[in-house]
Amino acid sequence: MPRSVPLRRTLGFLIALGALTPSLVAAEPGEDARPKVCVALSGGGALGLAHVGVLRELEAMQVPVDCIAGTSMGAIVGGLYAAGYSPAELEELVATLDWTSLIRDRPDRRHLPYRRKVDDLNYLTHWELGVSKQGIRLPDALVSGHRLGAELQLLTLRAAGIDDFDRLPLPFRAVAADASTAETIVLDHGALATALRASMAVPGLFAPVEVDGRLLVDGGVVSNLPVAVARELGAAVVIAVDLHAPVAERQRPKSIAGVLSQSLDALSQREVARAVEDADIVLRPEVDEWGLLDFDVGEELVERGAEATRGQADALQALALDEAAWRRHLERQRRAEPTLPIRQVVIEPGPGLPQAAVARSVRTRPGGDLDPLLLSGELERL
């Protein structure tokens, strides 16, 4: 059985969620109880942006999502949706975030001073070496993942204070793996950003994430399509989104990212096959022509997810709600985003950074409410 690992507690306020029975959603007065529907989103790096299109089309069909489980990029998309992001907001993130820079742990070149751009050209890699009494220390991954982690902290501010993922607008689980034992770790509480970052710690690409003394890596190593986790959430119906290319259709990888992607697929091939058999509805977006780091085609990936969902319209329509029931479902899921008032802005620049120059780049001011996307852009420019 997968085990849950406690994550660090964040600052706090709690939002209560109405009780759900194990496999039926509690009915409103005058309504019959209906099957509980859970979505399982697989990993796949950039390919996981297709999940946004899936969620958009499910809403267009008025198919309710009562809980969600995700691995790697599936955890990031699923976690943000569970925290209350709408498909339209997720599409905005796909279009506006510089995902490639986040993954590379490097600022956008447009925001670099000329000297830094020259340095980028002079050095082929950006690996950092450490020196200790034991000698030179090599990095434990191509990138540390600090920028991705910081961005996730901003994006999950609307879930601040919620350390029980059953209390999110949608109950949610993220899947990671213990780097030492290869044990499946189901993250069901703690800081949401930490859970998402751990679930996407692709071995060799990102540094592992330490949680309570355990090093966690990408859940795709052990459970890349978390249908079983969705069942544990009490789902009567599981909609699985599988981003894996059939073995016979795989091409020779042409990059490090391609090698990593196929290696993870090979490790999880049997588990994914079992998960597909256990799912009630399986959606397979046609994304085989792209790879793990092809974030520059994010909008096309979203559309491929939408197309795959429309292709299963007949099966999905059996789960659709009528207009009145759908409005009530959205009201429960789309809670008002909590406002986080800014009481003070403290700027402490490092050596060589004039405080006045930094202050000019930051438009976030006391007296207003924190805008995570605005602050993210300001930090990017710095």
Active site residues: 72, 218
SS (H, E, C) 264-284: HHHHHHHHHHHHHHHCCEEEC
Query: Distance (Å, rounded) from C-alpha 286 to C-alpha 298?
Result: 13
Q: 234 with 24: CB under 8 angstroms?
A: no
Tokens of 40: 């399982």
How far, in Å, CA of 189 to CA of 7, rounded? 6
Give the rounded distance of the alpha carbon of 51 from its chain centre: 10
Across-strand partners of 319? none
Using CA atoms, how far apart are residues 205 and 232, in angstroms rounded to an integer?
30
Alpha carbons 260 and 272: distance in angstroms, whole number: 17
158 phi/psi in degrees, rounded to 5:
-65, -15
- The residue whose two tokens read 């309504």 is 31
Spatial separation of the C-alpha atoms in residues 239 and 225, rounded to whole Å: 11
